[in-house]
Amino acid sequence: MLKPMIMKWIIILFGLIKIHALQLFHAARIRQSSRPRKEPQCLRLLHGPSQHGREVLQAYENGDHAMIIPRGVTLKIALDLNNGVADASSERSERFTCPSSLDLVHRLRKCSHAVLVGRGTVQQDNCTLTVRRVPPEAVECFINGVQSKKVVQPTRIVIDPGLKLIQSHDENQYAILNDSYETIVYHALSDGEILTKGLQSKILQLPENVLLVRATTQYGTGELFDIRQEKTLSPQHILDDLNARGKMHIMVEGGPETAKIFLQNHSVDRAIIIRAPLHFKEPIPSGITDEILGQAGLTRLGTRLCGVDTVEYWTRDGLVWPSPSLQSWP
């Protein structure tokens, strides 16, 4: 009589233990899947067995993290004390950050596969976006049978929906369309529009290293932006295209409108904001505030002095900084 009763209780007990174990297992799985996505502290030798690839590996082994190439998009923007990006009172945009910050920017360019700007920045600054303040990447190669080193610069990316730069590019006006390094211009013109605007002869005169790519617009995706509406080229489409070309780490170097579109599209993984201790006479507002950065899904990790400037480091929620300490990357 007693034995069946004990057996019955043992079976019930085992049943309860099994249910509890299953509950614990499911809870653990839910916790795991809802964890924020973390990027591995990656060291990506995307340049293959180049000199740079070897240097990166060596740098990592030596604890020098400045040359690590992460994935994704890093935004850099420099501001004065009024949140301005440039001084409208001066004809040409002058450098206004200190030498240490400029070095930081060139290190960031060096560990980027592409440096992206909007049409306005090229038109206003005639920038080259090359690595100059630190030694650029160099690959060993043979030129006319002689072993030599060839400088490799990050690809320059310009967003120019109406190809206004090409239209106004007279007598080799823009360095970026004229030197020997690679440039990709994303635009939104159809072949018919290119013909109507009479752009075909100017396009044919561009050097081989300048590539024009027609990008899709946000229009029709249901994701319209206030600022530019259907004329906005999709940052995601541009990034997908760049990734397909092997460009995995993109530096967005401005200007403010391009930066805002990338932020609004949640396409920025980390941001480096450089604040210079000066007041422009007539500041051109950046429109980039802590609130905008927060709405873009970024969190401030920390701040440090870089020469006389202050550098803020922001990252997408759940993403680790590419180096163990903030100041060691880039």
Ligand X SMILES: NC(=O)c1ccc[n+]([C@@H]2O[C@H](COP(=O)([O-])OP(=O)(O)OC[C@H]3O[C@@H](n4cnc5c(N)ncnc54)[C@H](OP(=O)(O)O)[C@@H]3O)[C@@H](O)[C@H]2O)c1
Q: Name the one range near ligand X by CB under 6 A: 4-12, 41-49, 156-164, 239-247.
A: 156-164
Neighbours of 238 (CB within 10 A): 23
Find the binder of ligand X among 93, 209, 243, 310 (CB under 6 A).
93
Of 150 and 231, the one with the shorter C-beta distance to ligand X is 231
Applying CB under 6 A, does 124 fall inside the site for ligand X? yes
CB of 30 to ligand X, least distance (A): 37
Applying CB under 6 A, does 150 fall inside the site for ligand X? no
* Closest residue by Cα to residue 322 from 36, 38, 41, 37: 41
Calpha distance 22→24 (Å, rounded): 5
Applying CB under 6 A, does 136 fall inside the site for ligand X? no
DSSP assignment of 19-44 equals HHHHHHHHHHHHHHHTSPP-------
Place of tokens 């970024």: 298
Q: Name the one range near ligand X by CB under 6 A: 11-19, 32-40, 57-65, 121-129.
A: 121-129
Calpha distance 154→134 (Å, rounded): 13
CB of 84 to ligand X, least distance (A): 8
Q: Name the one range near ligand X by CB under 6 A: 57-65, 154-162, 293-301, 315-323.
A: 154-162
Of 138 and 215, the one with the shorter C-beta distance to ligand X is 215
Calpha distance 71→322 (Å, rounded): 9
Calpha distance 120→161 (Å, rounded): 11
Applying CB under 6 A, does 157 fall inside the site for ligand X? no
Q: Is 77 helix (H, G, I), strand (E, B) or coil?
A: strand
Interface residues with ligand X (CB under 6 A) are 77-78, 85-86, 93, 117-121, 124-125, 159-162, 164, 228, 231-233, 235, 253-258, 261, 284
